[in-house]
Chains A and B, each alone.
Chain A
């Protein structure tokens, strides 16, 4: 069993109004040194096969999990706990 941790972020060229709103709140907390906040998504997949796992994860990401028009992604593969 493998646990795949997918991290999805908005591309640099894409404005992130949610991140900007959160940055405003962080500044209101007094942390003026926080220069930018960008919000993304974190998705975990548990995969019961190691066969061509990179190809599978990339296909799942690019077909469904990620909109490559506006988002970038990266992932890590870890040992998962068998269920």
Chain B
């Protein structure tokens, strides 16, 4: 599996993401600069955290118009796995690949610590190696992670099992304790917590690694189907 990590000016979790895939997952990975326009040849796309364009205007609002973004949207349409973490999630929201928007954290603080998440749906390509309902520990690091959407959108996210991770002790005021949601097709996941920072025991948790392993498992299974 060959993975692209998109790098914007102001991305700061791109190295963590690269490291998680190269060393944690043991797979091929490249940085792709935001001024590129093609993602041909990549099986999975990672949009890392950080402060793209200094969070000017709104988090993710400027990055959404980078020259790489049409290729990201095209990859979403053809069903490639796309993971947006933190600022990456905000960019996916701004791009309309996921519904809703982010507000400032309820208590206005930037929060940087490990939090407990509950796995709400383990039938996705990102979460198949977790147990349904399992509690996992993953770090968060954000000032604008207070997920908002209108009631109709929230009802459909709930009804379609598109909330993949919920906070057990909501740190930021997110609607319905949402920490991560998926698109209708099931190939675009946005989440505020950082699974790439939880891939080895040295950093406090290995619970993030199974997310990447789930993506690889899906890729191997779909690849086997295609070639058999």
Contacts and interface: CB of A to CB of B under 8 A. Distances in A.
Interface string A13-43: 1110110010000000000000000000000
B161 to A, nearest CB: 22
A81 interface: no
Interface residues of A, number: 11
A65 interface: yes
Interface string A50-82: 000000000000001101011000000000000
A21 B149 contact: no
A64 B69 CA distance: 14
A52 B106 CA distance: 40
A35 B99 CA distance: 32
A18 B107 CA distance: 9
Nearest to A10: B103
Contacts of B94: 67
Q: Helix, strand, loop or mixed for chain A's interface?
A: loop
B36 to A, nearest CB: 21
A70 B103 contact: yes
A18 B104 contact: yes
Given A13-B150, A14-B148, A17-B173, A69 B100 contact: yes
B58 A17 contact: no
A21 B108 contact: yes
A1 B150 CA distance: 39
A56 B148 CA distance: 28
Q: Helix, strand, loop or mixed for chain B's interface?
A: loop
A69 B57 contact: no
Interface string B126-157: 00000000000000000000101110000000
Contact of A67 (B101, B105, B146): B101
Contacts of A21: 108
Contacts of B61: 64, 67
Contacts of B106: 15, 17
Contacts of A70: 101, 103, 148
B65 to A, nearest CB: 7
A29 to B, nearest CB: 19
B149 A17 contact: no
A18 B101 contact: no
Interface in B168-201: 173
A18 B106 CA distance: 9
Given A15-B103, A21-B108, 13 more contacts: A13-B150, A17-B104, A17-B107, A17-B146, A17-B173, A18-B108, A64-B61, A64-B65, A67-B101, A69-B93, A69-B101, A69-B149, A70-B103
Interface of B: 57-58, 61, 65, 93-94, 99-101, 103-108, 146, 148-150, 173
15 contacts: A13-B150, A14-B103, A14-B148, A15-B106, A15-B173, A17-B104, A17-B106, A17-B146, A64-B61, A64-B65, A67-B94, A69-B93, A69-B99, A70-B101, A70-B103
